A and B are shown apart, each in its own frame.
Chain A
C-alpha cells in the first residue's frame, strides 16, 4: 500500500502524480474463499478489514453488486453520535465512535471525522423528558451528552431560530453530544477498501450474489454470483436495504421492512452552520459539509419500496422544518435530492449476529441510522464471523430477540431517526 501523507503528495507532485497506484485491485473472483462478505458498503468493507487485520483471515472477499459505497454508505447524511438510550445501544454506538476517533490514522485515509457536536432539539415537554432521560442514562454509561437551555442552544448554534412568537414549535432546549459529528462517507468506504485490499482481501465489484448454496447438513457451502460460483463456508451479509432478499436465498425470513429514505443538499455556501442539528419533532436534520453544502435529511416514505427515490412531499415537509429553524436559509436552493433503501426492524435497533443457518452471519437493520456505526459494525461482524459467536457488545442484538421479546426499543424511547 502506498502511504498517504502530505509529504507524499508534494513528492509525487514533481512526477505529476503519475506514480499513484490503484487504491485497491480489481481482481477476478477466486473459486473459493475462507469467508465472503456480501455487500460492499462501509459495514461490509469494514468487516473485511477487521477480519484480515484482527483475526488473520486474509483469504476473503467482499462481493458488491454495483460499486463499493454505492448503497446507503454513499447516500447518507453522515450524522455520527452515540447518545442512545439503552445500555446495549450506548455500548454499541460508543464502540463505533471510539473507532471513528482513530480511523483516519488507522486506515491512513482521511475520513474527515469532524466532531462538531450533534445537537438534538426539544420542542415540547415530552421531548424534554425524553432528552433528559437520555442525558442521565448516558452519564451513567460514560457517554457524553448534555442538556442545553434555549439560550445555550442559541449560543452553541447561532444560525438557528430558537423561538419566540413567530415559531409554531419554539425550542425548549436541546441535548448536545460534543463528540458527535460527521465524516466523509465515500472516504470511509474507500479507506476500508484500500486498507483491506492491502491485507489481501479481494474486493469484487459488479458481482451480485444470486443464491446461497447449503450442504446436506444445512450449512453454507457456496454462493452463486453473477460472476460465477464461489465456495465458502462462511458468509457475512451486510446488504442494508436488500438484506431480506439475500437472507431469503438461505430460507431465513427477516423481521425487516425496506423503505426509501431521502436526503438533499443545498448549493455550497461559505461556512454558515457550525454543527449538526437534529429535530425529530419537526423532522429536520442539518449540517454543513466541508464543501459548503447544507446536508439535510428527510423522512422515510410511508410505504415500503425498493425504488431508490422517495415522494416529493416528504422532502417538501423536511424543508418546511429547515426554513422554520433557519429562516435565513429560505433563499438557499436545493441542489440535489436522492433516496436510499433502509432496512427497518420492529424495535429500530440493528440485528448483528448469527442466523439459524450454520456459517451464515448477518449485520442489518441499521435503518435510518447505521452510518455512525460503520467501523463498529464492521469490527463486531468480523469478530462474530471469525469466532462463530458474538462479541459481548453485539450479543444482545440477536435475530431471536423479536421472538423472545427482548427488544431494544430505541424508537419508542426517543423516536429519533438518525
Chain B
C-alpha cells in the first residue's frame, strides 16, 4: 500500500502509520518516519527536479543534507510555502504538498531542456563573453531573459504566517553531531558533570548507525546501543538534547549558531510552537562530530535519475525500508560501496556488477562481495549511461594504464550507485578558522590546528572504522570536559563486532572514460550543471586559483555549497594544472552549513517588536488626546495634537498661536540628561564643552555647545549648575547615548585623573515645558519653596523645590522665545504633574503642542537644531554660536581644530534667514541656493535651506539656511532652483521674531 518499492520489513518507519501526500498534484502514500525522498522512492519515483542551467532531469542523489538535485517547493499555501526544500531532509507528514521546480510545463516535459541541446554554446562563463551589443540590450532584453531562466524555486508571494523564536544558551561542552562519535563524546562529557548540549540535524540521534544492520556494540545491535546511549543522556539533568537541530555556523569566541526545526514535520502544528528556534550558544568547549560526506564519481552522464550515492542507497534500504531500484551497477573506488552492494543485495536488489576503478581492490568487504556472488570488475570505469527520465543502462569499460577504455559493454540497470570515498565534514572546523591539512592517503582535507577551544571527533577528522570512531568520540568528549574544568570520567571501551573494517580507498577528480573529454558531460556540481570540461576550460582560460575556478564555473556555489562537488573539482584542477592539491588550496567554507530561514534569524523581531518602543511618562496622555506621533530614533514623540478636522498645518498654526498669545505645554522628556558629579565636575565640563563653566553659579543655567575632536558641532543643550560639584546636563534627544559615550571615552581614556562620575538620567526625569506669556501664572499656584518672580528667578536659572508636592528641578528656560519653564520631576510623577499643570492652565486655555510647533517657534527665534542646521560640517561660528566658545579657555575638545585656517575663511557656509517674495510660499527643506538660477548643471551652489515653515505670527513663511559667506550677503537676493522654476529669496538675519528678547525675559 505504500508503494511497490517498499521492502516487506525493516527500516525505522512506522508501518502502522500510513501517511498520504502529494507531489506535483499526484497523491502518494508513505509511512511515518519517511522523508519525502524515501516515500517517493517507495513509489518508484526518482525523478525529482530539473537542473539549474540545462534543465536536465535529475533524480534523488543522496539521503541527507548534501542533496543537490531533489529540491522542491513545500507548503499548503503561499503563507506557508518554502522553496528549495531538500526532499531528503523533509520529513513526511499527512497532507504534505510538494511541487517540483524550475520546469515548465511539467517535470516530465520541460521546454527549458532546450538549453541542454544548446549547451555547447553555453560553456562555463559564457555570459561574460556575450550579450554586450547593442549596449542598451543588456538591461532591456538579455538580463531579464537570463533572470527568468535562473533561480530555482519561487519565492512565496505572501507574508510568512509562522513565528520564530530565539534563545541564548551557555554550556561547558557543545557536541555537534549525534552519530557514534558524538553520542560517545556527549556521554563522556556528561559523566564529568559538565553542562552538555548535543545537537543533531536529524529527527533521531544515531547518525550513520541509523542505517547500520550488521554491527554490534557491546553485544547489542547498533540501534539498541543508540537507544541506550540516548536514554542515558536523557536521564541526566546536565544534558540538553536537541534533535532536528543544525549547528550552522561557528562564530568568534566559541559562539555557535544552531537552528532547530520545530514544526516542519507536523501536519497540524500546535499553535504555541514557533516554526524554528534560533540558538546562539556560547560554549566553553566544542566537540565537532559532524561525520563525513560521500563523494560522487565524475563520469559521463552521471546525472541521470537513478544515479545515486552508494551509501545513500544503503540508507534507503536499511533505514527507510525502500528499494531505490531493481538492478544496480556500482561504480566505486571505495570499499564503502561494497557494503552498500551487500546490503542492497540482501534486500533483493540485483547487483549487476561492481566496477571498481582500483586495479587491485582487496580487503574483507571486497571478499565478502565476491563471496556473495557479486561480479567485481577491477580497473573498470562507467563510461556513460543511457535513459531519458531514468537510467536504463550503464556502459562499463576496462581502463588501461594509459587511461584508455577497453572492452566496452552495456549493462542494463535502473540504478547506478557511485562512491569516490568519503570527505570529512570539516565545514564548522574551517569556519572556526582552524587550519586544514590535506591527507594524501584519504585524499581529503582533515582538521589540523584548531583556532578555538574546539576538537573534532570521529569521521569528521578522517576516522573510518566504527570502533575507532566511538573510541575517539569518548576520548574527545572527556578531553573537552577536562579542558572545561571537569574531570573524573571513568575510562571506558566499546566492543565493536560484526563490521568488516578495511582501508577504504578513495578517488578524486574525473574518472577516466576514453571518450572525447571535451564533448561529454561528466557532472561535478549537479545543481549548477558544472562539468569536468567546464573546470578544464576555466583552467585553460587562466583561472588558476581554486577560488577563481569556483567563481568562473560556479562549481560549489549551489544550495549544497559544494558538499558533493568541491573535492572533485579540486581533483580536476589539480590534474589540469599539474599541481598538487595542497598547492591549489581550498575554497573558504562559509556559514551556514546548510541554508537557514531568514525568519529564524529575525526571530520575534517583527512589527512592534522590531525595535523597542520608547515612550515618555506623558505618552499615554498624548495618545488619549489623539496626538499624531513621529519616530525619533526609538522614541515616539507627539508630533502635533490635531482637533477634529484639522490637518497638521492647521493644528500647528493653532498651537503656535496659543504659545505666543497665552500658554502651551510640551513634553520634553525625551531630551537626554546626564548628571555630572564630582570634585572635578567643572573642570570636566570646561574640557568637554566650548563654554566656560567655572564662573557659572549654582542655580544658573547655560546653553552649552559640544564639539567633536575635529571641531564640528556635535551636540548642544542647556546645562544647570545644581551645586559646585554637580551639573544637570541636557542633550538632544537623538544625541544622548552618543554624548554619554563621548564623555565616558574622554573620562576613562584621557582624563582618568579627574574625579567625576557620569550617570544617564534621561529616564529619571519627566520634563514638562510650559511656555508662553501666561506660563508663570499657570504654575505659580502649584509651586512650593521657589520664588518665581523675574528678579528671583530670571531667564536661565534653576531652582529646587516642589510642584504639586513633588520634588522638582525647575528650569526657567525657553526654546520658544517666550517666558518659559521646564519642570523636571521624577518620571513616576510625570503624568500626574502634567495633568495638574494642564488643569491649572485651563483658565488660560493652555494648549498642548508637539514637536512640529516646537520647531516652528524656535525657528522664528533662529535657534538651531543640531542635525538640522548642522550636518557634521559646521563649526560654532558657522551657525552663529561663536559667542559660546570660551576664547580664554586653555583647552577643550575640538579647540585645536577650530583655530585652523579653513575655519576662518569668510566664504564658509553661515547660517542666515531667508524670506520669499510671496509670503505664502514655503521653501522646501533641503532645497539648494544659487546666485544665478539660469546656469546649467553642475551649478555653483551657495548653500541649502535647512529649516522652513509657515510662521503664523509673522504671516509669512520663514526659512533658515546655510549660505556661503551668508553674513556678508544680508539684503541680497538669491535663488532657490526648483524643477522648472526658480524662487527668489532675500537673505536676512536668522531671527524673525522678538529680536530684542523682550518676551523671553518677561
Is the pair B150, A169 in contact by a Cβ cutoff of 8 Å?
no
A residues near B158, Cβ cutoff 8 Å: 328
From A133, which residue of chain B is reached at the shortest CB distance?
A: B926
In the complex, per-residue mask of B474-500: 1 if CB is within 8 Å of any chain A CB, else 0: 000000000000000000000000000
What residue of chain B has the Cβ atom nearest to residue A412's Cβ? B872
Contacts of A190 in B (CB 8 A): 128, 552
Q: In the bound complex, how far is the Cα of B925 from the Cα of A47, in angstroms?
A: 40
Chain B, residue nearest A321 (CB): B610
Give A287 to B590 CA distance when docked, in angstroms: 20
Any A CB within 8 A of the CB of B117: no
CA distance A313 to B253 in the complex (A): 13
**Stretch in B139-147, B336-344, B374-382, B812-820 with 4+ CB within 8 Å of A:** B139-147
Among the listed B132, B135, B610, B902, which residue makes an inter-chain contact with A108, where contact means beta carbons less than 8 Å apart?
Answer: B132
How many angstroms from the CA of A92 to the CA of B246 in the assembled complex?
46
A30 interface contact, C-beta 8 A: no
Contact with A along B132-164 (1 / 0, CB 8 A): 110100110001101110111111111110101
Tally chain A residues at the interface, Cβ within 8 Å: 113
Q: Is B710 an interface residue (CB 8 A)?
A: yes
Q: Which of B138, B255, B872, B924 has the most CB of A within 10 A?
A: B872
Judge if A251 is at the interface, Cβ distance under 8 Å.
no
Chain B 493-534 against A: per-residue CB contact (8 Å), 1 yes, 0 no?
Answer: 000000000000000000000001011000000000000010
The answer, yes or no, to whether A217 is at the interface (CB within 8 Å) is no
Residue A228, interface by CB 8 Å: no
The answer to whether B938 touches A110, judged by C-beta atoms less than 8 angstroms apart, is: no
Q: Which of B80, B518, B926 contacts A16 (CB 8 A)?
A: B518
A16 B519 Cβ-Cβ under 8 A: yes
B residues less than 8 Å from A291 (CB atoms): 150-151, 554
Q: Does B401 contact A (CB under 8 A)?
A: no
Bound complex: CA A288 to CA B148 (Å): 12
Closest-CB distance, A192 to chain B (whole angstroms)? 13
Q: Answer yes or no: B69 CB below 8 A from chain A CBs.
A: no
Q: Which residues of B contact A74 (CB under 8 A)?
A: 547, 551
Asked whether, in the complex, the Cβ of B595 is within 8 Å of the Cβ of A333, the reply is: yes
Query: Given A13-B121, A110-B130, A126-B867, A269 and B152 touching (CB < 8 A)?
Result: yes
Which one of B345-353, B535-543, B665-673 is at the A interface?
B535-543
* Residue of A whose beta carbon sits closest to that of B924: A132
Docked pose: A130 CA to B871 CA in angstroms:
10
Interface residues of B in 558-606 (CB under 8 A from A): 559, 561, 588, 590-592, 595-599, 601-603, 605-606
Is B695 an interface residue when CB atoms closer than 8 A count as contact?
no
Scan B932-968; emit 1 where CB is below 8 A from any A CB, else 0.
0000111101001000000000000000000000000
Interface-side segment among A55-63, A136-144, A375-383? A136-144
Q: What is the CB-to-nearest-CB distance from A343 to chain B, in angstroms, rounded to a whole number?
A: 18
B936 nearest CB neighbor, chain A only: A142
Interface presence of B548 (CB below 8 A): yes
Bound-complex Cα distance A267 to B433 (A): 24
User: In the assembly, what is the distance between CA of A137 and CA of B977, in Å?
Assistant: 10
**In the complex, per-residue mask of A112-149: 1 if CB is within 8 Å of any chain B CB, else 0:** 11111000000111100111111111011110000000
Is A371 part of the binding interface, using a Cβ–Cβ cutoff of 8 Å? Answer: no
Chain B residues with CB under 8 Å of A133's CB are 925-927, 944
Is there contact, CB below 8 Å, between A25 and B607? no
Contacting residues of chain A (1-19) with chain B, CB-CB under 8 angstroms: 4-6, 8-10, 13-14, 16-18
Using a CB-CB cutoff of 8 Å, which residues 227-275 of chain A contact chain B? 266-272
When chains A and B are docked, how far (Å) is the Cα of A167 from the Cα of B711?
A: 38
Contacting residues of chain B (261-316) with chain A, CB-CB under 8 angstroms? 278, 280
Contact call A335/B154, Cβ cutoff below 8 A: no
Are A9 and B151 CB-contacts (below 8 A) given A114-B139, A168-B608, A319-B601?
A: no
Whether the Cβ atoms of B131 and A6 lie closer than 8 Å is yes
CB contact list, B608-662 vs A, under 8 A: 608-611, 613, 630-632
B402 within 8 Å of A (CB atoms): no
List the B side residues contacting A168 at CB < 8 Å. Answer: 607-611, 613
CB-nearest residue of chain A relative to B898? A405
Candidates A140, A331, A338; contact of B81 at CB < 8 Å: A331
A187 B128 Cβ-Cβ under 8 A = yes
The reply to whether the CB of B901 lies closer than 8 angstroms to some CB of chain A is yes
Q: Which residues of A contact B606 (CB under 8 A)?
A: 320, 323-324, 327
Is residue B900 within 8 Å, beta carbon to beta carbon, of the partner chain? yes
Instruction: Return A153 CB to nearest CB of chain B, in Å.
Output: 17
The residue in chain A whose Cβ has the minimal distance to the Cβ of B144 is A271
Residues of A within 8 A of B588 (CB): 338
Shortest C-beta distance, A135 to chain B (Å), equals 7
Q: Is the CB of A320 within 8 A of B605?
A: yes
Question: Which of A76-84, A304-312, A350-358, A359-367 interfaces with chain B?
Answer: A304-312
Q: Give Cα A319 to B164, complex, Å.
A: 13
* Interface 1/0 per residue, A281-306 and B, CB below 8 Å: 01000001011100000000000000
Contact between A20 and B602, CB atoms less than 8 A apart: no
In the complex the two chains form, what is the Cα distance from A327 to B606 in whole Å? 9
A-B residue pairs in contact (CB < 8 Å), sample of 21: A5-B133, A6-B129, A16-B516, A17-B533, A20-B541, A23-B542, A105-B132, A109-B129, A114-B139, A136-B944, A140-B938, A142-B937, A268-B52, A270-B155, A291-B150, A312-B280, A316-B278, A320-B602, A330-B164, A331-B162, A334-B597
User: Besides A113-B138, A136-B928, 14 other CB < 8 A contacts?
Assistant: A14-B120, A23-B541, A87-B941, A104-B138, A105-B135, A132-B925, A142-B937, A166-B607, A267-B153, A309-B431, A311-B251, A331-B597, A337-B249, A405-B902
Partner-A contacts on B (CB < 8 A): 52, 75, 78, 80-84, 120-121, 123, 126-133, 135, 138-139, 143-144, 146-148, 150-160, 162, 164, 249, 251-252, 255, 257, 278, 280, 431, 433, 516, 518-519, 533, 537, 540-545, 547-548, 551-552, 554, 559, 561, 588, 590-592, 595-599, 601-603, 605-611, 613, 630-632, 710-712, 867-868, 871-873, 897, 900-903, 924-928, 930, 936-939, 941, 944, 977, 979
